[in-house]
Amino acid sequence: MDKLILYMQYPFVRYALIVGTLIALCSSLLGVTLVLRRFSFIGDGLSHVAFGAIAIASVCNLTNKMLLVLPVTVACAIFLLKSGQNTKIKGDASIAMISVGALAFGYLLMNVFGTSANLTGDVCSTLFGSTSILTLTAFEVWLCVILSAVSVLLFILFYNKIFAVTFDENFAKAVGTKVDTYNLLIAMVIAVIIVLAMNLVGSLLISALIIFPALSAMRIFDSFSKVTILSALISVLCALSGILISIVAGTPVGSTIVATQAVMFAICCVLGKLGGKLA
């Protein structure tokens, strides 16, 4: 406990907690609709795309990688959600294709043109999340706060539309809801959140932030609103405790958070079985 209080005096620990909580909140909100629309893997796919983009950015020696990574990821997100339904290559296959493709090209680029002395270390920290969450600058924290606030605001405003589009796209379209616009919006917000979340847990573990809270909440509750709220709570709780544990125990931040999520999922499963479904 003393150790914790001691650590809390450092600004970088407070930054990490703020950013971690916000990212967890945003990703869990959209996670519910993604899981229900069978797009669980989109987080994985997009984060690999972001990895590829980071590789290109570092090869080109860009000082601000975000400028390249964000647009590329957003473009891919739009492409994936749009091509989801009526194409020859089905949603899951195209996600898998893009994700491994980007991963391979990213690593290839870094290997061939890389200037860094510690290539394996760089790649590893991009994939599994690094201590970079503990080295955030004030600018990055503010960027994250603003983008998260915008995401949450958009989600609350369009909550009813998101529900309608998730539950029944054709019906929504038939009564005149602009389904395509909302899909676009969802895709863009997801892409932004994923790029932000790469700092926290790394490319390979991002899916966990998106799907675990939603799936855990679905074990317990039976209505969309309650599932959404609970998944947000679970996600924030797990992110906070994950970061704190990793600080105290000296474990990697990303994998500790995901491990916490997995344990939470198991608890929710048991609770769901024991208590039956609460209405």
Binding site residues, another protein, CB under 8 A = 36-38, 157-161, 163-164, 166-168, 170-178, 218, 221-225, 227, 277, 279
Nearest-approach distance from CB 176 to another protein, in angstroms = 3
Nearest-approach distance from CB 207 to another protein, in angstroms = 19
Ramachandran class of 129: left when φ > 0, alpha when ψ lies in -120 to 50, beta otherwise: left
Judged by beta carbon, residue 87 or residue 225, the one nearer another protein is 225
Cβ(155)–Cβ(147) under 8 Å? Answer: no
Q: Name the residue with tokens 């609460």.
A: 278
Nearest-approach distance from CB 169 to another protein, in angstroms = 8
Q: Nearest to residue 264, comparing CAs of 191, 182, 209?
A: 209
Burial of residue 99, with CB atoms counted within 10 A of its CB: 0-12 exposed, 13-18 middle, 19 or more buried: buried
Torsion angle of the four alpha carbons 105, 115, 200, 91, in this order, in degrees rounded to the nearest 10: -10
Judged by beta carbon, residue 65 or residue 161, the one nearer another protein is 161
Structure tokens belonging to residue 196: 């932000």
Judged by beta carbon, residue 105 or residue 224, the one nearer another protein is 224
Judged by beta carbon, residue 83 or residue 177, the one nearer another protein is 177
CB atoms inside a 10 Å sphere around CB 217: 27
Nearest-approach distance from CB 163 to another protein, in angstroms = 6
Nearest-approach distance from CB 35 to another protein, in angstroms = 10
- First-to-last alpha carbon distance for the chain, in angstroms, is 39
Judged by beta carbon, residue 116 or residue 160, the one nearer another protein is 160
